[in-house]
């Protein structure tokens, strides 16, 4: 049990987080904790709101911003000018009663502001100071700027995707950010557990680069062990039963049956193709690898005869590992996504019920949820300060001098 944390039904209830992050990596890490009850206060500057507020996903300017809503749900928002002496002091007062401080500014920025780990530790020795960085806290390039696509590039994932005869392919926008966010939230939980046992706060860092290396742990370790860098491959170089195939309706399916000979016979039997099963070119794993071009061509012709979900249902009912290759329109209607609340309904204060991606981790006794929309700019500044012992006169003064609030 974390000491002094009330049990109000959610595992992170009572945890106080001051969030000075923008964009995605650090921002999503705190959203994950807010889903499970953490009180996350998002701090933005009066002339430097989170740039994510300006992103739009469609032509309708009145549409909700899926980017900002996803990364800032369940948080409260306030505006503090950290360059103003009284604004800086206001933040430090918030830190005095906080458990975690999270930031993802370029290295050196918080030091210039007088808000580095040692500055916060002087006001709260138990503070956990979590940084989301580009390339890690150490090394000759620690201060280099980095964004998601650069993390994918430098971390090796970009060179492992796609066939060798085309340019390197980056994954969906935000993949490195999301993995970095997961690593940072994991680090925060580890630091909280350490503090619960020792009373000691500490500084932690999770980076875009580190997340990409972590994501490919066994692949990179294989290179370390063998000295061989795996090549990029297209589907013609892959195992025939660990591959994707286009169906009659133009959609694709994925097979995962390359484990030795376990699936070969039941696969061919389900297809009603004893001739393929007994073909000497395909009778063993080594033979199927050697003659993969012929087998892939044969399966291409076979799978082109029926629609995607016809094949999925047919082969899955036969106990075979198969899945549809789905776009987002299919994913959000997938019966497993719906049944497991990976996508949930949320009554947004804009006056409509929307569907959003919910928490991916499910707890039976204390499940996370989306309870609050992303905050409006400067929405909770007074509310948060009053909770932290500021008087109305003090709040009014801070607004008058420009230390807090929008301009």
Q: What is the DSSP string of 166-227?
A: S-----STTHHHHHHHHHHHHHHHHHHHHHHHH---EEEEEEHHHHHHHHTHHHHHHHHHH-
What pLDDT sits at residue 261? Answer: 87
Beta-bridge partner residues of 255: 322
**pLDDT beyond 90 at 259:** no
Q: With 60 as the cut, is the pLDDT of residue 1 above it? A: no
Q: What's the chain's length in residues?
A: 407
Average pLDDT rounded to a whole number, residues 3-31: 87
Average pLDDT over every residue of 28-36: 98
CATH superfamily of 238-331: formyl-coa transferase, domain 3 (3.30.1540.10)
The answer to whether the CB of 30 falls within 8 A of the CB of 19 is yes
Question: pLDDT per residue over 93-143, tens digit each?
Answer: 999 999 999 999 999 999 999 999 999 999 999 999 999 999 999 999 999
Residue 384 or 407, more confident = 384
Q: What is the pTM of this model?
A: 0.94
Q: Please list, residue by residue across 200-228, b when 16 or more beta carbons sit within 10 angstroms of its beta carbon and e when fewer do.
A: ebbbbbbbbbbbbbbbeeeebeeeeeeee
Tell me the mean pLDDT in the region 168-187.
Answer: 95
What CATH class has 16-217+339-400?
Answer: alpha beta
Quick one: tokens of 261?
């000979």
pLDDT band at 337 (very low <50, low <70, confident <90, very high): very high
Nearest Cα neighbor of 283 from 268, 300, 297, 302 is: 268
pLDDT over 70 percentage in the chain: 97
Q: Which of residues 56 and 38 earns the better pLDDT score? A: 38
What does the pLDDT average to over 202-225? Answer: 97
What are the domain boundaries of the chain?
A: 16-217+339-400, 238-331
Is there a shared CATH topology between the 16-217+339-400 domain and the 238-331 domain? no
């Amino acid at each position: 049990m974390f000491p002094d944390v009330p049990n109000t039904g959610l595992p992170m209830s009572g945890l106080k987080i001051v969030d000075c992050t923008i964009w995605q990596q650090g921002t999503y890490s705190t959203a994950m904790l807010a889903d499970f009850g953490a009180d996350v206060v998002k701090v933005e500057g009066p002339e430097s709101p989170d740039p994510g507020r300006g992103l739009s996903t469609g032509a309708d300017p009145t549409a909700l911003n899926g980017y900002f809503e996803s990364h800032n749900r369940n948080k409260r928002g306030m505006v503090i000018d950290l360059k103003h002496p009284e604004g800086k002091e206001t933040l430090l007062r918030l830190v005095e009663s906080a458990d975690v401080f999270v930031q993802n500014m370029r290295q050196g920025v918080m030091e210039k502001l007088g808000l580095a780990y040692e500055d916060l530790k002087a006001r709260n020795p138990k503070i956990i100071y979590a940084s989301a960085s580009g390339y890690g806290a150490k090394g000759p390039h620690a201060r280099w700027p980095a964004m998601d696509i650069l993390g994918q590039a430098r971390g090796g994932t970009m060179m492992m995707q796609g066939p060798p005869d085309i340019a390197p392919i980056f994954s969906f926008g935000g993949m490195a950010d999301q993995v970095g966010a997961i690593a940072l939230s994991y680090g925060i939980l580890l630091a909280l557990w350490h503090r619960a046992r020792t009373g000691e706060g500490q500084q932690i860092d999770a980076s875009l680069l580190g997340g990409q290396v972590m994501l490919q742990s066994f692949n990179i370790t294989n290179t370390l062990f063998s000295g061989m860098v795996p090549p990029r491959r297209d589907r013609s170089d892959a195992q025939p039963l660990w591959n994707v195939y286009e169906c009659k309706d133009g959609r694709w399916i994925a097979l995962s049956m390359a484990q030795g000979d376990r699936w070969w016979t039941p696969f061919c039997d389900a297809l009603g193709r004893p001739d393929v099963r007994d073909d000497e070119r395909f009778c063993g794993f080594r033979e199927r690898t050697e003659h993969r071009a012929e087998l892939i061509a044969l399966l291409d012709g076979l799978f082109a005869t029926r629609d995607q979900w016809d094949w999925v249902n047919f082969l899955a009912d036969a106990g075979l590992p198969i899945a549809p290759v789905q776009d987002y329109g299919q994913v959000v209607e997938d019966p497993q996504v719906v049944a497991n609340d990976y996508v949930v309904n949320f009554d947004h204060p804009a006056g409509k019920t929307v569907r959003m991606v919910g928490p991916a981790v499910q707890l039976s006794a204390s499940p996370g949820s989306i309870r609050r929309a992303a905050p409006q700019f400067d929405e909770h500044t007074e509310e948060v300060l009053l909770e932290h012992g500021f008087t109305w006169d003090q709040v009014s003064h801070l607004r008058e001098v420009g230390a807090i609030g929008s301009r």
